[in-house]
Chain A
Amino acid sequence: MRSVIGIDLGSTTTKAVMLDEQGETLGFGITNSRSNYEVACAVARIEARTAARFGMLERALAQDGNARVWLGPLRDAFRLELFMVDLADLRHTIEGHLAASQRPDRKTLDAAAAHVLDVIAAGAADGFLGGAARRSDFFRDIAGAGFVAEAEALARSGRVAFEPLVALYDRAILDVETRLRPRDTRALLDRALDRIRAMPGAAGAADTLAWAVAHVTRQPIEEVAVVGTGYGRQTLPFPKAAVRSEILCHGRGAHRVFPDTRTVLDIGGQDTKAIQVDGRGVVTSFQMNDRCAAGCGRYLGYIADELGLGLHELGPLALGAKKAIKVNSTCTVFAGAELRERLSLGQRREDILAGLHRAIMLRAMSLLARSGGVRNELTFTGGVCKNPMATRILRELVDENYGADITLNVHPDSIYMGALGAALFSLDDLAAGTVPELPSFVTSHGTEVAS
């Protein structure tokens, strides 16, 4: 199958979208951004390929409802296997660092790290297969949380100091995350199948699943064009002709999903963009934040850290507000101080959070007004659109300023709009016969072994 890929290298996450030649979506992939941009792009791309394989599995099993219900568990088992591979790499890296170290407490640390990793490994299956929602699918987040929790437990027992133990993780994860490793999808799927076979009630479906896996992984997916975008695009390992502005990509992607939209608001990790598009998804004007990223996703991340909460917990918590406390600080750091001060005055956490969300969305409203206002439909994209309080306040402010008849679109896959736009530009290149040279992480076929 021939396909094109769009990659959006954001400040927080890197996204990839794979389309077939007709423009149909094959798969979305996402990973955390990291210092090595090439690896971030490569991982996002592999994730999109993996998603494409699962999409092919769904189609292969379209007629077999009995087998198809096992696709969800198969996906979880696949992620578990992937996690175990990364965990083994983490273990190997920590061992390597300690072997090269001259520290007197080397042996103690070695034993402690081994124990911590054993505990994480032992609990992994429950985490992935237990059916509970995961805070994050990123290896760094899951392994890091587990490592810190176990290291704390060990440190409380007095057998090892917390700081040097966690420092081992901090150093090793950088190496693990910036190393480009091949992903043997077929081998991972086979091991995942083994886990499914061992599950009660799976016996009847296992053979069909195995047939589908063998069938699907034999089909080649050829990437014939790639376009990159995002804040890191200047340093993307791409030829210049394969790089497009994220503003154009976000506008195009959002328009593809909501063809009637003429206004797009994208709030990402460090910037906010208000974009106007025409009937073809072509950007006609835009405004973005300047010099200061207060009011973007990182602002919420900082507030979550201040409160010891996960980023995804903020919005739902804020929905419990009885009123929105006015937050005066326009600076992220000052807002953190204001948050602590208001908490100390006894104000409700939910109410303060509502005020913080409102402050962010007011900044966005200002950019929207500057870009030319809201026309008929507003599409909200970027990481922050996943926050239910942010969307609720946006709805209120749009009602207040432009009228309740404005349609507000938020798509569950809104975070992928930039990558989707990039993929559409890449289809244009294909159609025009002006495909730039493919980046090396796509052409070096070591990154995904299909069979």
Chain B
Amino acid sequence: MTEHADAGARDQSQLTQKRMLAEHFDALAHAKERGRKIVYTFVPGNVTELLGALDLLPVLPEINALQSGMRGRSVGYIAEAEKAGHSKDVCTYVKCDVGMLRSGNIGPTGQRLPEPDLLLLSYTGCFTFMKWFEILKQEYDCPVVMLHVPYQTEGTITPEMRAYVVSQLERNVIPALEKVAGRKLDMDELARRLDLSARAEEDLVRVWESARHRPSPIDGYFGGVYYVGPIFSSFRGTEEAVRYYRELRAEVDERVRQKKGPMTPDGEVPEEKYRLVVEGPPNWTSFHDFWRMFSKEGATVVSSTYTRVGGLYDTGFRHDARRPLESLADYCLGCYTNLGLPARLDLLERYVKTYEADGFLVNSVKSCNSFSVGQLLMLRKLEERTGVPGGFIESDLVDPRYFGKANIENRVQSFLQMLETRRRLGPGAPLPERKEARRSLPVLDERGLP
């Protein structure tokens, strides 16, 4: 995220974010000498307010991996992890992280990241998270505490699910954090931080909702990954985050007033020609090339699900100081990665309709089973429900070997031209009913030919 600010035109909020992140990584680099304790945890289901209330500093391995991808380091880190025995098929975030730690753990600002005092395994729908911290436990030889968040198969949070998460917070997570911090949790401080979280969340939601305007003043995917930077990483529940989101919201409001499209690394999008909803994480190693494939065609992403993996706020959830542990539980349960297919479909349908999207695109990443499973089915179902055409591309998070630029660009252009043609001619007659394949994949057989 710090990289982007160097790449092109910047808003004031971007400079603010860059400064915040630089200060955070500086604090991490000097943590040990200043006697501060370090907790590694994951973006989805991160309980940053709890860490902050105990003066613990978080490190988020996925953020390190994506930063390494953007800085062109991931290919070397992945090779390093493969040298250490990790299969080609392992999630590339994991391999990038392992390779980075084996290469000296140098963070995005060029400073060394501190080793963890505790691994807080917030488990929210991604099975790989468990394996990831198993590996880190071996590498660092430090304690692990797990927060098991039950999967929202049906798309609803039951009282039992909430109680289960709260009980883990009370019995396992908070005691483990207190032990590392060497002090008791101050519930008033936690409540204060949750209040700050809610204020930042409110402004972020207004930013997302600005995409209802035409042109949309934001890109809710390529630009959106920057907007979620502070709130997904270490700044939820801080004054800095509240200031950042207030500043961002004011900038976006001003863009709406001036009827301006989103800012990209190449400047402003001159004309909004297509409004898209995107499902799936972006590719980080060719992030700007990827973005440019859309921006140069006048395609703006009005909403995306990836920007909800670290917290889903635009369906009404806010952190709540009056019910601190319950709202932390609801936050963890509600992360996009923790939603079953029906709930993901509902959310996508809502985005397509609310933001009046012309098309819906899936970027299916090779690394991520939990994201990719079911995406083709989602594509078809969403087409049926909304009548909006879907497109499908494939890449990876941080392994550049899986980003075929020509192939992806071919598909993106074909998809956009398809939208254009359909827009010009109007929606066609409904397609004839499709025969379901008797077997979705024919098996190889050695039978004789007739």
Contact = CB atoms under 8 A, between A and B. Distances in A.
Contacts, number: 119
Contacts of B438: 400-402
Contacts of A290: 394, 404, 407
Interface string B419-450: 00110010011011111111111101111110
A248 B432 contact: no
B286 to A, nearest CB: 14
A282 B425 contact: yes
A359 interface: yes
A323 interface: yes
A278 B431 contact: yes
Interface stretch (A18-26, A181-189, A203-211, A363-371): A363-371
Interface stretch (A31-39, A117-125, A373-381): A373-381
Interface in A4-59: none
A366 B432 contact: no
Nearest to B403: A291
A362 B442 CA distance: 7
A338 to B, nearest CB: 13
Nearest to A397: B442
B422 A321 contact: no
Interface in A258-280: 262, 271, 276, 278-280
A363 B436 CA distance: 18
Given A248-B414, A354-B449, A374-B435, A282 B428 contact: yes
B180 interface: no
A334 interface: no
Contacts of A366: 441
B418 A283 contact: yes
Interface residues of B, number: 43
B413 interface: yes
B417 A248 contact: yes
B260 to A, nearest CB: 24
Interface string B115-138: 000000000000000000000000
Nearest to B447: A323
Given A278-B429, A324-B447, A283 B414 contact: yes
B380 interface: yes
A335 B399 CA distance: 26
Contacts of B223: none
Contact of A284 (B431, B442, B447, B449): B431
B445 A326 contact: yes
A218 B417 CA distance: 40
Interface string A86-101: 0000000000000000
A282 B442 contact: no
A83 B26 CA distance: 72
Interface string A367-398: 00110111110000000000000000000010
Contacts of A372: 380, 434
B160 to A, nearest CB: 38
Contacts of B433: 375
A179 to B, nearest CB: 27
B411 A288 contact: yes
A373 B435 contact: yes
A2 interface: no
Contacts of B389: 284-285
A403 interface: yes
A372 B392 CA distance: 12
Interface string B232-269: 00000000000000000000000000000000000000
Contact of A376 (B406, B432, B436, B437): B432
A283 B422 CA distance: 8
A236 B444 CA distance: 40
A419 interface: no
A313 B398 CA distance: 43
B446 A323 contact: yes
A123 to B, nearest CB: 40
Interface string A309-329: 000000000000111111000
A68 interface: no
A245 B425 contact: no
A321 B444 contact: no
Contacts of A245: 410, 413-414, 417-418
A140 interface: no
Interface string A335-379: 000000000000000000010001100100110011011111000
A369 B437 contact: yes
B417 A402 contact: no
A286 interface: yes
A358 B431 contact: no
A324 B446 contact: yes
B7 interface: no
Interface string A426-438: 0000000000000
Given A286-B418, A369-B441, 5 more contacts: A231-B406, A234-B409, A324-B446, A354-B449, A369-B440
19 contacts: A231-B410, A247-B410, A247-B418, A248-B414, A262-B432, A280-B428, A283-B414, A291-B407, A322-B448, A323-B446, A324-B445, A365-B441, A365-B442, A370-B376, A373-B434, A375-B434, A375-B435, A397-B442, A403-B435
